[in-house]
């Protein structure tokens, strides 16, 4: 359940650490984002810029106050699967993407939901160390 003003952890190496949701895309204003939904975020906290650590060029990294798109990969609210099981994680997390849906970073650091594999974000699911 990701609304306006929800804070999310960022689990890729794009440079952002904590972002805030400012818009849930393709939903009615009263509705919320679930796993696999796209949102617009503003970067609240970012890692200090050092290209040597991440091995990326400086222009590909995001800074504080940047506005970008993200896809929700974990939620605290339970997600119902068609077989009747529900899955919930201990935090809300997202991965930053560009307008085509490709991730900005090159690595995903922790577990993501299995649902991303069937959506157009299968690249994030393959980058992740584990899907659940």
User: Pattern 70-109, binding to another protein, x per CB under 8 A?
Assistant: ----x---x---xxxxxxxxxx------------------
Binding residues for another protein, total number by CB under 8 A: 17
Cα–Cα distance measured from residue 64 to residue 41, given in angstroms and rounded to the nearest whole number: 11
Q: What binding mask, one character per residue, do residues 38-77 give for another protein by CB under 8 A, x or -?
A: ------------------------------------x---
Contact 32, 38 (CB under 8 A): no
**Structure-block tokens of residue 26:** 């393709």
Q: For residue 68, count other CB atoms closer than 10 A to its CB.
A: 18
42 alpha-carbon distance from chain centroid? 12
Comparison of 62 and 73: residue with beta carbon closer to another protein: 73
Pairing of strands 38-46, 16-24: antiparallel
Of 45 and 91, nearer to another protein (C-beta) is: 91
Whichever of 24 and 95 has its CB closer to another protein, that residue is: 95
Residue 55 or 82 having the CB closest to another protein: 82
Residue 30 touches another protein, criterion: CB under 8 A = no
Quote the CA–CA distance of 129 and 125 in Å, as a whole number: 8
């Amino acid at each position: 359940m990701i609304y306006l003003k929800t804070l999310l952890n960022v689990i890729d190496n794009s440079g952002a650490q904590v972002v805030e949701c400012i818009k849930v895309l393709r939903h009615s204003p009263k509705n919320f984002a679930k796993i696999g939904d796209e949102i617009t975020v503003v970067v609240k906290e970012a890692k200090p810029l050092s290209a040597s650590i991440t091995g990326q060029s400086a222009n590909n990294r995001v800074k504080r106050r940047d506005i970008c798109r993200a896809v929700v990969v974990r939620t605290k609210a339970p997600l119902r699967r068609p077989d009747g099981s529900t899955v919930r994680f201990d935090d809300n997390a997202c991965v930053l993407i560009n307008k085509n849906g490709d991730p900005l970073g090159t690595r995903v650091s922790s577990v993501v939901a299995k649902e991303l594999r069937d959506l157009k974000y299968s690249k994030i699911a393959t980058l992740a160390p584990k899907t659940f």
